[in-house]
Chains A and B, each alone.
Chain A
């Protein structure tokens, strides 16, 4: 037992060394953990910011495209017709010939009617009055009818959520209308489809919209499609009304998108 005091000293030194190592590793792991969490959070935030920027870019680009289209419509339709009208008036020499006067009046009236119609079409495109006065169901119906009549596409519309559509706030119904318009546009422009269908259903308090066509569908890489301007536009509109969407990689079998939009009654 004579060596006991010496053993205690060694134990003290070992205890100090052990505790130091323990505390140092605890601090080291705590630092590593905290910094790792911070990095992950920063990466996530960065990715979110990038995504928001992309969405914003898509919105700006589509606004520009829309302006260009309106400009072109005004120039090609209204502008040209108005120039024609001006030329007609300039060429007209008032005389005693009643027939010529009547012809002139008729021609100018026809041209003015065309201008009125063009302006109405352009303004309807900008902000469909049906949507404002009769709601989303009527606006979709009208749009589908116009496309069906044009013969470009055959659209089957199944509306099982008539009541819920009437309760939607204007902001939500405008967003959904624009999304469907964009989807129909894509189908007509890119898919080569002959048929499309729109199904509207209410499940609990959520409006389910299923849009399909029988065109060439998406490429297998859904992420690549999501980066396209049209899809980004759709995404930013849906994001704005708290709706979510799922795209199916449906290559060869057509295109399908499911949209789920929470319905909050307008007060």
Chain B
């Protein structure tokens, strides 16, 4: 019962924390933060559709296939804004290639009732690479780690995708698992998702208090 409330209500509702903070500070949001904000809106809507489909006993695997494409698109566009034109073009190529791969996977390989266990882990790995490259480029920064708003967003993304990588790989095995195992894995996944939303919320909150202060 508690598990049901946690997974069905508490975690999906956590998304409201960053969304509400972002709405409150909307005029302070930078372009990358706006990308994350619209990603959250999309993610929340997809979650609501997912819950409706589950309650009307429909298969939701198709939704995951579509969700993966857009999730990758939003997150790639977020990281895209930290690079020069040359690298931005590379990211556009990656987005296009990944989208084609997802469509091919849905139409010919893992269709209808299967989870996209080939494309979702691939998505997670590419996003982990984006995130690591971001950290690599941040080392010369002269700001305190916590004062840098994108560090919070990046940490949320990295923690979620790296920790859930194994779950994405074995999603199709987990369908047949015992209820206790499924509950444990999904609780862990949902907790990480909630953590990601909270870290996003900190980023959105910090964008307003972010001021350049003179040390003199």
Cβ proximity bits A9-27 to B, threshold 8 Å, 1 near / 0 not = 1011101110110111001
Decide if the interface of chain A is mainly helix, strand, loop or mixed: helix
Kindly supply a per-residue 1/0 record for chain B positions 134-166, scoring 1 wherever the CB is within 8 Å of any chain A CB and 0 otherwise: 010011011111100001000100110011111
Question: Which of B138, B142, B176, B192 is in CB contact (< 8 Å) with A41?
Answer: B142
A52 within 8 A of B: no
**Cβ distance B142 to chain A, nearest Cβ, rounded Å:** 7
Given the contacts A5-B173, A38-B142, A13 and B185 also touching, CB distance less than 8 Å: yes
Known A9-B174, A9-B185, A12-B174: A19·B166 in contact at CB below 8 Å = yes
Q: Which of A12, A30, A31, A35 contacts B185 (CB 8 A)?
A: A12
Tell which of A16, A31, A42 touches B163, judged by Cβ atoms closer than 8 Å. Answer: A16
Q: Is the CB of A19 within 8 A of B165?
A: yes
Task: Judge if A34 is at the interface, Cβ distance under 8 Å.
Answer: yes
Cross-interface CB contact of A30 among B135, B184, B215, cutoff 8 Å: B135
The smallest beta-carbon distance between B201 and chain A, in angstroms, is: 17
**B108-141 with Cβ < 8 A to chain A:** 135, 138-139, 141
Docked complex Cα distance between A23 and B146 (Å): 17
* Contact present for A9 and B177 (CB under 8 Å): yes
CA distance A24 to B151 in the complex (A): 13
Q: B184 to A13, Cβ gap below 8 A?
A: yes
Give, as a whole number of angstroms, the nearest-CB distance from A28 to chain B.
Answer: 10
By a CB distance below 8 angstroms, the chain B residues around A12 are 166-167, 169-170, 173-174, 185
What is the interface residue range for chain A against chain B?
Answer: 20 to 34
Cβ of A126 under 8 Å from chain B: no
Bound: A230/B133 CA distance, A: 52
Question: Shortest distance in angstroms between A5's beta carbon and chain B's nearest beta carbon?
Answer: 7
Tell me if A8 counts as interface (CB < 8 A to partner B).
yes
Pair A23/B185 contact, Cβ less than 8 Å:
no
How many angstroms from the CA of A42 to the CA of B144 in the assembled complex? 11
Q: If A9-B173, A35-B144, A38-B144 touch, does A16 touch B155 (CB 8 Å cutoff)?
A: no
| Bound Cα distance from A20 to B191, whole angstroms | 12
Chain B residue numbers with a CB within 8 Å of A42 are 215
Would B163 and A34 count as touching, CB distance under 8 A? no
Does any Cβ of A come within 8 Å of B53's Cβ? no
6 A-B pairs with the lowest CB-CB distances in the bound complex, closest first: A15-B166, A20-B163, A9-B181, A23-B162, A31-B145, A12-B170
User: Can you identify 12 A-B contacts, CB atoms within 8 angstroms?
Assistant: A6-B181, A9-B174, A9-B181, A13-B181, A16-B185, A16-B188, A17-B188, A20-B159, A30-B145, A31-B146, A34-B139, A38-B144
Give A residues with C-beta under 8 Å from B.
5-6, 8-9, 11-13, 15-17, 19-20, 22-24, 27, 30-31, 34-35, 38, 41-42
